[in-house]
Structure 1
């Protein structure tokens, strides 16, 4: 074992006992959490699409990789809890996330995505910000792309009402240039 390089140096020879215990306590209900995570993401993606928002979610039938997902996915677990909504510009994305976090308490802004709360980030100005603009464009990462890890706390209807309220508040700030029909249509 080389203690100076590789995984052993980074992780140590054994897992922290407290972390190992906490993981073992959560593993039995992981399937239930993942099913709810996926169910809510699919429902939000469908509802966002009906509002006219540009949504990327592999569980939607028109997603370019939907058939591939169906071929490899574990039956009963859906398409996962990650979705993207493209607000067009970084300013619009940030205003929406501001209202989602600070006004309606729908979720939290974070670059690490995976928690029982909904977490979100504007990828173009956070996790993908070091990519050259042409690479981001080729990867489909627009300046206004909001990536969400959909949480599973609260009821789906309660959280959806918070999302709709945040979207409405965002549009009220600049009604002349931010009507959903003007910038969010698919």
Structure 2
């Protein structure tokens, strides 16, 4: 973002973003760099078009699939934005790509001209700000990437199984693999064949209290899963997104992002449990 935008620059971004990213665009960049952001409904192409400011707008920023009701950490096995004409793709390698919840890493993928400019000795944001990956972390990731495809298939298979069974129990489940999801067919047309619809599902419990009660019941009464947010782990992870990963948003921003009243329980379906372990 800092490499593409100078002082006075402008960003058009989806209203549904990870809380930390939303805080960066809403508070930090305007205060420190004079870079402003207009948030839009990214599915409304006319609204996106109207938000673009000639000359000033340098970045169109969005997540697929978006936070907070689901997640952007599908991994490139499920969805490959570069194949869908994205100019720059940022991956959180701490999540499904890592698979062990034990490293902090990310990857910026884009044209050589951009990446070279980011490493420029005098003006490169990577060169001057120093977000370099630890060599040991890089090695560990290189050892895990070869079996990413196998892991993602199993994550997605189990997420689909749990989404289906929870729906049959009468719970309101948000998962793009379900045919009643409003963007099921859209994701199906975009996703890489054979890898499902992601390893995370969301349950609407109507209130933050009920969402947290459900998670604590499963954790403490059934010894099922962990209440944590480092997705892609080999144990099932659960969180109430509105009071965790989207806690930087105020009530109005949460409503626009789809987090409502902190009512969502997110479940990252892990590969280490049998499918009938709880349901």
> TM-score category by the smaller chain?
0.7 to 0.9
Confirm or deny that 1:134 pairs with 2:252: yes
Counterpart Cα distance in 1 of 2:250 and 2:135: 42
Counterpart Cα distance in 1 of 2:247 and 2:221: 26
CA contact (8 A) 2:225 2:237 kept: yes
After superposition, where does 1:1-186 map in structure 2 within 5 Å?
1-2=120-121, 6-8=125-127, 9-12=129-132, 15-142=133-260, 143-158=262-277, 161=278, 164=279
Structure 2 vs 1, CA of residues 75 and 129 (structure 1 numbering), >3 Å: closer, same or farther?
A: same
Task: Give secondary structure in 1 for the equivalent of 2:173.
Answer: strand
Deviation at residue 3 of structure 1 after TM alignment: 8.0
**Deviation digits for residues 118-168 of structure 1 (CA, Å, limit 9, x no counterpart):** 11210111121222212322332132201122111021122xx2xx4xxxx
**Deviation digits for residues 58-114 of structure 1 (CA, Å, limit 9, x no counterpart):** 000010110111101111000011110011111111111112223322211113322
Counterpart Cα distance in 1 of 2:256 and 2:170: 23
Deviates more, 1:108-117 or 1:66-75: 108-117
TM-score of the superposed pair, with normalisation by structure 1:
0.77
CA contact (8 A) 1:100 1:108 kept: no
Q: Kindly indicate whether structure 1 or structure 2 has the higher relative contact order, using CA contacts under 8 Å at least 6 residues apart.
A: 1
Counterpart Cα distance in 2 of 1:40 and 1:148: 11
Counterpart Cα distance in 2 of 1:75 and 1:137: 33
Deviation at residue 34 of structure 1 after TM alignment: 0.1
- Runs of 5+ consecutive residues of structure 2 not aligned to the other structure: 1-119
Aligned-CA RMSD value: 1.9
**Deviation digits for residues 30-60 of structure 1 (CA, Å, limit 9, x no counterpart):** 1010000000011111111001101100000
